[in-house]
Amino acid sequence: MVSKAKSAKGTSADTRGTGDELHQQAGGSHPALTTNQGVPVSDDQNSLKVGERGPVLLEDFILREKITHFDHERIPERIVHARGTAAHGFFELTASLSKYTTAKVLTEVGEKTPVFTRFSTVAGGAGSVDTPRDVRGFAVKLYTKEGNWDLVGNNIPVFFIQDALKFPDLVHAVKMEPDRGFPQAATAHDTFWDFISLTPESIHMIMWAMSDRTIPRSLRMMEGFGVHSFRLVNAKGQSTFVKFHWRPRLGLQSTVWDEAVKLAGADPDFHRRDLFEAIQAGNYPEWDLGVQLFTEDQAAQFPFDHLDATKLIPEELVPLKIIGRMVLDRWPDNFFAETEQVAFCPSHLVPGLDFSNDPLLQGRLFSYLDTQLSRLGSPNFHQLPINAPKCPFANHQRDGHMQQQVPKGRVAYEPSSLQKDAPYEDARRGFRSAPVEEAGGRGRVRAETFADHYSQARLFYISQTPFEQAHMASALVFELSKVETEHVREAVVGHLRHVDEDLARRVANGLAMDKLPAAAKARAPVIEMKASPALQIIGKMKRTLQGRVVGILVNDGSHAKTVAALSKAAESAGATVKIVAPKVGGAKLSGGKTLVADGQLAGTPSINFDAVAVVLSAEGAGQLGKEAAAVDFVRDAFGHLKAIALDDGGKALFDAAGLETDKGVITASDAAAFVEAAKGRFFEREAGVRTLA
């Protein structure tokens, strides 16, 4: 049960351990940490708050100096989320929340609100690839009648850290190591895992990061989360906590690791291209918006603290209520002017919404605005078309770098009496903060309710299917195998022992450890929670070809009717069909007509598709059996657990690849069976094609 806020006096400053304990873990002798002015820092783990669970104070000059410096480290590229892709669309409300909020965007059913949604990787630069193992940003700018609302989140509902003071440290750890400038867009290196080994609050997020959630098949097939608890405020000033979820109507789907690695080389822009082609074809991606609503009293009964960003609220505890849908239906006219110049800030709210005291959110409210000032170079960045509200706006903020408007009149202050049309405050319609009472002594503290770092990490792991658990164990082995420092590897496995002993043993075996390292010191007991199937991917995958892509490999002499039947069946099921041939001009099929290819074999491997068919003449099979790209086409499709349709010539190529058929390998003449098989992947095949931890 979450305790009520206490005085800061006498509370442990950090649930991980004191600074001295952390230094002992790190080893060596360390100079005192100071501000840029030389002032020694007593606590570099927690922001200055009112009480354990209260808001962060603006007077925290240590937080402001650290984050301000971090926000201004890079120009003009974003420090994080630099690699991004975005699209225009709309949000349509389908169920009113008028009982909970006055926000029109959440109360006027049927109203369509314009949106601009940007997806991004976190760690890599703007020139990195689309498909690394990485968290994905999921940021939505809603141009509401009452101003812009930015719902700025990720495709994962939790985060690595509990306090914004640690955000610069997290990003510095995950970015390229400063003495060598690599690795790019990767967590598999010493500095990241060193930070994680000393930051047990990150272990829950690590479970998500090592899961298939961070190697999505498509931006159209991943969830989005607001991460933090926010407040809805009604006309009476009463507030209700809310968490926001975006659910893709195409369902969840991820790649397998070998596939993600090969995609990075074959098509660095795979996700960007996939979203572009879907919108251009009129296959507009859609998401449902769901909310979890709960009161302060309900929150007090949770076995965790909802203000802790490393925690989620299981749907079995607070069910999801679907209230609307988002459709992305228009690609930007200019990538730089829109996708690059769009500025998201969690502090952009509309009346009827408010913040919680989540200390990570509290720091983001300052950091994002400061970052935009640095990146876009002007306090007038809101005047850029992509950032400008679509409702009327007026204030007395004039001048400044890159002022694009021409304000008129002699009044630039409020209140005033000299100008009848001067903007004035609006007590009736204006933004009002929830009237929440706060109490407690000032201090750099962390609530005792933030001390449990392992229970939800365990919840996430035990909720996965055996296939997903194997992927997580293998991902941990891969990542830690890139870590040169032995004690860091051992420390991480020590944390994993609190998540699951079998998981820790599998990872230790994969790293050739003679014995399991000692379990890490836990500040709070691990609570055994009931598994949540809602946290799976494989268990939630939709058996559908809607939004998927089927590739058909042909050569001269391929049977025209078989190709036509497979194409028709796949397209009727909602898939996009692409023809692959040795030459981009296409192939002359059995009927004598040339079928134009969408891709040339060497440049269009099977990793581009969700399922494949191989239709070849005997002569064509003989030729392609000696072509590495053709052999890899079927070998990779099989290894990536996809459905494969084969005619006699295709079977000859399949045999040349040294493969054995299973229930996912279908006779090409049975188009209906192929379409049904292509709606999913064959995970039971995986144990026979690769070694997993």
Q: Please tell me whether residues 612 and 552 are part of one structural domain.
A: yes
Q: Please tell me whether residues 368 and 490 are part of one structural domain.
A: no
Q: Has residue 2 got a pLDDT over 60? A: no
Q: pLDDT band for position 22 (50/70/90)?
A: low
Q: Please tell me whether residues 295 and 211 are part of one structural domain.
A: yes
**pLDDT at residue number 28:** 66
Q: Do residues 170 and 363 lie in contact, with contact meaning Cβ atoms separated by under 8 Å?
A: no
CATH code of the domain in which 606 resides: 3.40.50.880
In a domain, 27, yes or no: no
Which residues are known to be catalytic? Answer: 81, 154
DSSP secondary structure of 157-202? SS-S-SSGGGHHHHHHHHS-BTTTTB-SS---SHHHHHHHHT-GGG
CATH code of the domain in which 506 resides: 1.20.1370.20
**Final residue before a domain boundary, out of 509, 538, 567:** 538
Q: Please tell me whether residues 219 and 91 are part of one structural domain.
A: yes
Q: How many domains does the chain have?
A: 3
* pLDDT-wise least confident of 126-135, 320-329, 409-418: 409-418
In a domain, 275, yes or no: yes
Q: Residues 368-398: pLDDT tens digits?
A: 999 898 899 888 889 999 999 999 888 888 8
Q: Do residues 538 and 527 lie in contact, with contact meaning Cβ atoms separated by under 8 Å?
A: no
Q: Residues 225-253: pLDDT tens digits?
A: 999 999 999 999 999 999 999 999 999 99
Q: pLDDT band for position 9 (50/70/90)?
A: very low
In a domain, 41, yes or no: no
**pLDDT at residue number 40:** 78
Give the mean model confidence (pLDDT) for residues 352-368.
95
Give the mean model confidence (pLDDT) for residues 431-441.
90
Q: Please tell me whether residues 525 and 567 are part of one structural domain.
A: no
CATH code of the domain in which 238 resides: 2.40.180.10
In a domain, 238, yes or no: yes
Q: Please tell me whether residues 647 and 563 are part of one structural domain.
A: yes
Q: Residues 100-147: pLDDT tens digits?
A: 999 999 999 999 999 999 999 999 999 999 999 999 999 999 999 999
Q: Please tell me whether residues 483 and 628 are part of one structural domain.
A: no
Domain that holds residue 641: 543-688
Residue appearing with tokens 């006055």:
102
3-state SS class at 384: coil
Q: Residues 451-504: pLDDT tens digits?
A: 999 999 999 999 999 999 999 999 999 999 999 999 999 999 999 999 999 999
In a domain, 160, yes or no: yes
**Final residue before a domain boundary, out of 383, 399, 427:** 383
- State the average pLDDT for the chain: 93
Q: Locate 79 and state its tokens.
A: 């420090």
In a domain, 37, yes or no: no
Q: pLDDT band for position 75 (50/70/90)?
A: low
Neighbours of 466 (CB within 10 A): 9
**Final residue before a domain boundary, out of 368, 383, 398:** 383
Q: Please tell me whether residues 215 and 338 are part of one structural domain.
A: yes
Q: Has residue 13 got a pLDDT over 50? A: no
Q: Do residues 362 and 164 lie in contact, with contact meaning Cβ atoms separated by under 8 Å?
A: yes
Q: Has residue 16 got a pLDDT over 60? A: no
Q: Please tell me whether residues 618 and 639 are part of one structural domain.
A: yes
**pLDDT at residue number 610:** 98
pTM of the model: 0.91
Q: Please tell me whether residues 205 and 250 are part of one structural domain.
A: yes
Q: Please tell me whether residues 509 and 587 are part of one structural domain.
A: no
Q: Please tell me whether residues 520 and 561 are part of one structural domain.
A: no
